[in-house]
Amino acid sequence: MSTPVLVVGGAGYIGAHACKALARAGFQPVVYDDLSTGHADFVKWGPLVTGDVRDREGVEKALRQWRPAAVMHFAALALVGESMRDPGRYYDVNVVGTLRLLQAMVACGVRDLVFSSSCAVYGDPGVDRISENLAERPVNPYGATKLACERMMGDFETAQRVRSVRLRYFNAAGADPGGDIGERHDPETHLVPIVIAAALDRSAVPVEIFGSDYPTPDGTAIRDYVHVCDLADAHVAAVRYLQEGGASRTVNLGTGAGASVSEVIAAVESVTGVDVPTRRSHRRAGDPPRLVADPTRAETLLGWRARSTQLRTMVEDACRWHRRAGPAMAVTGPGPRSAADADG
């Protein structure tokens, strides 16, 4: 019998890739997801329990039934712009949801947690590469909710011995190279799938470049794009680390290299051979100019380092998924949407 791991939010983009990585590593992923933005057809490597993370009783029931060795927690709202407009929803789903999950874990005696945190906790640090020692100063409610969750975990450790690895993702991108799963948000607001959709679906609507007056070499914002399968592997490494008795830690997950919005567009054009129409637009509220990880700690602590570090590889894998899944997603600008899977 393989060891169960409860994957809360396991029907979303990153959670589903983590399930595949868990299954490959010999664990049994049990997905707990309310399917508000997750997809039942992404749950392929174990059972699905349908439920809301804020429903403590529902979570406890799943924990009692499956007796997992650890919990991975991906279920969250994850859009910076949306969090600026509706912070209450973010505190409700992200902070209250994490509180209920922690309470359920304590009640059921499950004490190992791998948490989806985000580089958004750092705010706008203005440094070349961000290490975990930097002060956290979130500049948007999304980042503030992730930081509140991390702090809650610290308190639950002191009082109730819940150990956690808080994984601060930079920008997840790409898709399972086998084509089983990929990025599917509705509507889509993330740069890589938006540009790919514009190229492959031959959209006449230009891709908006949010800000071309940033203090960066080409004026567009820089992010550290990290392959979603690498992120998934880091979660497995974190579970193993906790199983071996490792202490709670906060860990950046990125490649250590940045790419600008213009470079992402150029990479998609190069992979697809299609010129993508673009339009310069205003900066998006809450967006820092540059977020690039110092991923040293992930390597020393978890033995993890991103393998697919080339933006081109991420774009190729995401294109393969897009071709397979078809042009189903609605592409929008930064307008409101509902989301329940953490994206970093």
- Choose the binding region for ligand UFG from 28-36, 160-168, 178-186, 189-197 (rule: CB under 6 A): 189-197
Subset of 137-156 contacting ligand UFG (CB under 6 A) = 142
Residues that are catalytic: 142
Among 287, 294, 316, 317, binds ligand UFG (CB under 6 A): 287
**Among 9-17, 158-166, 207-215, 249-257, which window interacts with ligand UFG (CB under 6 A)?**
207-215
Nearer of residues 162 and 222 to ligand UFG, judged by Cβ: 222
Does position 322 interact with ligand UFG (CB under 6 A)? The reply is no
Q: Nearest approach, Cβ of 16 to ligand UFG (angstroms)?
A: 16
3-state secondary structure the chain: CCEEEEEECCCCHHHHHHHHHHHHCCEEEEEEECCCCCCHHHCCCCCEEECCCCCHHHHHHHHHHHCCCEEEECECCCCHHHHHHCHHHHHHHHHHHHHHHHHHHHHHCCCEEEEEEEHHHHCCCCCCCECCCCCCCCCCHHHHHHHHHHHHHHHHHHHHCCEEEEEEECEEECCCCCCCCCCCCCCECCHHHHHHHHHHCCCCCCEEEECCCCCCCCCCCEECEEEHHHHHHHHHHHHHHHHCCCCCEEEEECCCCCEEHHHHHHHHHHHHCCCCCEEEECCCCCCCCEECECCHHHHHHHCCCCCCCCHHHHHHHHHHHHHHHCCCCCECCCCCCCCCECCC
Instruction: Tell me if 190 contacts ligand UFG by CB under 6 A.
Output: yes
- Is the CB of 119 or the CB of 238 nearer to ligand UFG? 119
Answer yes or no whether residue 43 interacts with ligand UFG by CB under 6 A.
no
Tokens matching residue 196: 């790919």
Phi, then psi, of 91 in degrees rounded to 5? -65, -35
Q: Say whether residue 191 binds ligand UFG (CB under 6 A).
A: yes
Nearest residue (CB) to ligand UFG, 118 versus 313: 118
| 199 binding ligand UFG? (CB under 6 A) | no
Measured at CB, which residue is nearest to ligand UFG?
Answer: 221
Select from 117, 164, 189, 250 the one that contacts ligand UFG (CB under 6 A): 189
Residue 89 near ligand UFG by CB under 6 A: no
Which residue matches tokens 């299609």?
274
Rule CB under 6 A: choose which of 7, 30, 71, 120 binds ligand UFG.
Answer: 120
117 binds ligand UFG per the rule CB under 6 A:
no
**Interacting residue with ligand UFG among 21, 148, 261, 292 (CB under 6 A):** 261
Residue of 11, 71, 72, 80 that binds ligand UFG (CB under 6 A)? 80
Contact residues for ligand UFG, defined by CB under 6 A: 78, 80, 118-120, 142, 171, 189-191, 194, 207-210, 221, 223, 261, 284, 287, 291, 343-344
